[in-house]
Structure 1
Amino acid sequence: MPDTKAPDSSRRSDRSRRAIYAAALDLVSEQGYARTTVEGIASRAGVGKQTIYRWWPANSKAAVLMEAFLDLAEQANEAAGGTSGSEIPDTGDLAADLKLVLRATVDELDNPVFDRPTRALAAEGMVDPALGAEFTAKLLEPQLQHFVRRIEAAQAAGDIDPGVDPRTAVELLVGPLHHRWLHRTLPLTHAYADTLVDLALRGLSAKR
């Protein structure tokens, strides 16, 4: 007898949602945020634009891209074995812990799949304050807070000067990395990430 079981709508919806994610990231990488439209995303994903408006009713284009980007970051974290975008391990060796995470960050930023949409959204965020604020609040700030908590733990352990502002300490680590990535001044490498950690900790150490 023929199989009369109804199609699994949840699986179909998940396929459509992931097709929308992929289409949004591809289009923003290819033509930038400003030229990416809901209609274009729907066409590339093979869904009706009303599907997008139904699933993301408010500020649809930005909402789709942000959710797609969060999903991309989660996938990158899983591929890195949980060393990117998650809590920084505390093995008791601060330098090793920070180098592990900064190396994973280098790999992420060097990956074209992540690099192109990140640049497009970062560039648009500079001229669109609302998008820039959302990008910072949902993507950048949560990652920075992982570093802040690891620095605070190092201060409690006596490894970092207790008078140092943890957020400033984090910027010493990640600021130069993102500056080199954003402006393409020189290649991003694991060796560079290790050097940043060594130099930053030399200045932040409680045992100078």
Structure 2
Amino acid sequence: MDPIKLWLVDDHTLLTEALTSRLAAFTDLWVAGRCPSDDPRLPIRLAQERPAVITVEPESARVPTPELFATLRAAAPEARLVALTGSKDPERALAAARLGADAWISKASGMAHVVEVLRGVARGDAWFPPRLLGTVLRGLREDVTRSTDGPLDALSGREREVLVCMVDGMHGPEIAEQLGLSTNTVRTHTHSVYAKLGVHSRLQAVSAARAAGLLPRPKDPVQTS
């Protein structure tokens, strides 16, 4: 039986080198390659190698998560995506699941667990940590059951607030201050907005919102003496 072909996407070179070395001990797994998220040759290399499983660290990626996942999906449509990450945020796990992640593994996991999940994912299984699974399942279920009369109806209340701020021309730190959120939380909601609207950039999200009738709010008139 041919080994499971893996590809590692992580901007921390030392980590991928160490993981490659440790995975070499398992004869049924083969790391065909590794590269950072912003490697311009990534799509071509994935299309050539056609890995069965791609591990990716979205938290430290220099490429926005929706764009990165879209690139991986387009270059290797049959590959399974595994978020191998240091994040323990349930909302980020949900955002990754919405973007097509088949599994979410903590970098703190032992090698035996990592290998078990990689083998399972290659067989068609999915895996998210039990403490994150509730949030992921509820979010995905809400996506299915929520009204789809319009493109913005799939957004949660908070996601819509973030989108409104984007339409108003605000950026991450400004949105965080406006809504009383951390910049990381705003980033998570932004990625979720992208996924639900089927877009991959801020410009596309704003365009979709405007097309759906969400226009910039009128600004307060400037007081003059």
Q: TM-score, normalised by structure 1?
A: 0.26
Please identify which structure carries the higher helix content: 1
**TM-score, with length taken from structure 2:** 0.25
Q: Which fold has the larger relative contact order, with Cα–Cα distance below 8 Å and residues 6 or more apart in sequence?
A: 1
Structure of greater Rg: 1
